[in-house]
Structures are given as C-alpha cells and as structure tokens.
Amino acid sequence: MALRIIFMGTPEFSVPTLDALAEAGHEIVAVYTQPPRPGGRRGLDLQKSPVHQAAEKLCIPVFTPINFKNPAERAAFRAIGADVAVVVAYGLLLPEEVLGGTRLGAYNGHASLLPRWRGAAPIQRAIMAGDRESGMMVMKMDKGLDTGAVALTRKVEIAHDMTAGELHDRLSRIGADAMVEAMARLEAGDLSFTPQASEGVLYAAKIDKGETRISFARDAHDVHNHVRGLAPFPGAWFEVEINGRPERVKVLGSTLAEGEGRPGEVLDEHLTVACGKGAVRLTRLQRAGGKPLATTEFLRGTPIPRGVVLA
C-alpha cells in the first residue's frame, strides 16, 4: 500500500523529493509551502515557490500558511488524515501539534551530517569551514532544531573546488532517493533510528550580507572556501576601481594558486590574487547587472592589471 503523505518544502532543493515520492506511487494528499513572495524584475509580482509550482503540475492541493500559530491551521493539518509528513527545506518551525499531526509522524531530509551543521545554511557552512564531506540525513523530527533520531545517511565527498551550488544540486538528488527508501522502509515497518551524538554539534546560521565581502588578508584556503561556499548565491565579492569609480564584483569561482604579495594584490594576467598567506586564482566573476563570466572573458571587457589591489 502507498502512504498518504503531506509534503512540506519551499525551494528548488525540495522539488526532486516531491517528484520522487509521487513517482514511487505514494499519494501526496497535500503540499505545504511558504506563501508567494514579491518577485520579478521590479519586485511587484507575487511569485509562487518552486514547490508550489511543482505541486500544481502534479494537481496536488497546496496550502501556504504564514505560520502555525493559529489553532485553525493546526486543526486543518490534522484533519487531512495523512499517514506521514515529509519535510525538506520548508523554512518554518513546526509546533509539536503538527509534528504529531499524522499517524506516523514527520520526517525531515536535512543536508548535513548531523549533529554537525544543524540549522538554516548547512551546505554553505560546510564548504566555508573547509569540510571534506557532507551528506543527506533522514531523521524523525522532534521539537528541537534538527535534533531528531536519524534513520538514513548518505555521504558525499566535497571536492576541493566544489561550490555550494554544485553540492546543493548533488544533495538534492541524493536526498530524493534517500527519502523514497526511507518511506518504503517505514511503510514496511522496517525503519530503525539512531539518536544523534551529543558531541560535535554545530549550528549553521543563516548567511548574513555582512559576511559576504572577501578579506584577502585571510589565508588562501579560507578565501577559497569563502568564495565557493557563497557561490552562486549570495556571492562573495571584492571592490575594485572600474572606469574611475569603485565597483563591486562577485566571485563565483576560485582555485588555490602559487604566489605572494600584499593581500589583495593582483599578481598576473590570470587574476591570481595574493592573500595573507598564499594566493587564489579567481576563475568566474560577475559585475553588478551583468552575467557570470569566466575570468578570461571578463578581463577582455574589464581589464584588472597586475599590481592593482582588490579590497
């Protein structure tokens, strides 16, 4: 028998899991996602979340509560009569009444190797910290923040130049497969759980705009991790004078390189930049209002000569 599932998610990261559960034959009886937000070029149009759009293609009823503080919202959730809730990057804290509002409870697909990187930005924080591996975990949710017992783990190596965007896409696919397996085992009564370790807990705070500027005074490894951890969004950036005025330039790719000089000094025509220790080569850049370009193409239109100091 298929499970009756309430799916709860919002961004593009969540869509493969929704699709995979539907393709596996489960009955998705409702989708919960965050309300439409202002978007478009002028920010005047309300845009539905990626999960909202995917649910409509599957002809699944969609609910968009602002939160679950209203008792009527919690009662409506329970009244659906689902077997299980599956949560992937929903973006709202769920009260105990909702966590227990289905026959078998709520299960979360989380993009880290718990208990490391609980919280909002596990993919970015893992790369920014220089972690060599990440993964997806399926856990049974409790009232804590990502503290539930773990049912399944899928590990992924983080390559030296892998960006947060690349890891995001890989974990999204792996997470979909893991959740399908978890639901099959849950349906068969064969899903076991392991409590999380009490040691090694780290919290992945939401990325703040104030931490996106690159400090070339740091070690080259730290600069490289900072760049790739924020690529493609929100993007790490430096400031340089272009056409006589300072301009921000996003860095969407980098690699470790040889060289030394003043922190921020451009060392060659390939945009190798000196750091506090070592150097990085910037490989992909984007001016404000422009499209992302490989550095060779970027420099053809916007020369940054040797000796310039990026700030």
Asked if 160 and 253 touch (Cβ cutoff 8 Å), the reply is no
Q: Domain limits of the chain? A: 4-203, 209-301
Q: For the domain bounded by 4-203, which CATH number is listed?
A: 3.40.50.170
Locate 154 and state its tokens. Answer: 């899928």
Tokens 């649910």 found at: 55
Q: Compute the average pLDDT of residues 47-51.
A: 97
Pairing of strands 106-110, 133-140: antiparallel
Which pLDDT value is given to residue 45? 83
Which pLDDT value is given to residue 243? 87
Which residue has better confidence, 185 or 1? 185
Look over the chain and give the mean of its residue pLDDT values, rounded to a whole number: 96
Q: Cα 208 vs. chain centroid, distance in angstroms?
A: 14
- The answer on whether 99 is annotated among ligand-binding residues is no
- Per-residue pLDDT of 252-290, as tens digits, reads 999 999 999 999 999 999 999 999 999 999 999 999 999
Q: For the domain bounded by 209-301, which CATH number is listed?
A: 3.10.25.10
d(CA 6, CA 41): 33
- Per-residue pLDDT of 82-141, as tens digits, reads 999 999 999 999 999 999 999 999 999 999 999 999 999 999 999 999 999 999 999 999
d(CA 305, CA 42): 36
DSSP 231-292: TTTT-EEEEEEETTEEEEEEEEEEEEE----STTBB-STT-EEE-SBSEEEEEEEEETTS--
- The answer on whether 186 is annotated among ligand-binding residues is no
d(CA 193, CA 247): 52
Asked if 179 and 82 touch (Cβ cutoff 8 Å), the reply is no
Q: Is the pLDDT of residue 41 over 70?
A: no
- The answer on whether 232 is annotated among ligand-binding residues is no
Percent helix, percent strand, percent coil in the chain, to nearest 5: 25, 30, 45
> Which residues on neighbouring strands pair with residue 265, listed in sequence order?
309
- Give backbone dihedrals phi and psi of 284, rounded to 5 degrees, phi first: -150, 130
pLDDT band at 201 (very low <50, low <70, confident <90, very high): very high
Q: Compute the average pLDDT of residues 226-231.
A: 98
Which pLDDT value is given to residue 43? 65
- The answer on whether 115 is annotated among ligand-binding residues is yes
Q: Cα 37 vs. chain centroid, distance in angstroms?
A: 19
CA angle, corner 297, sides to 292 and 300, nearest 5? 125
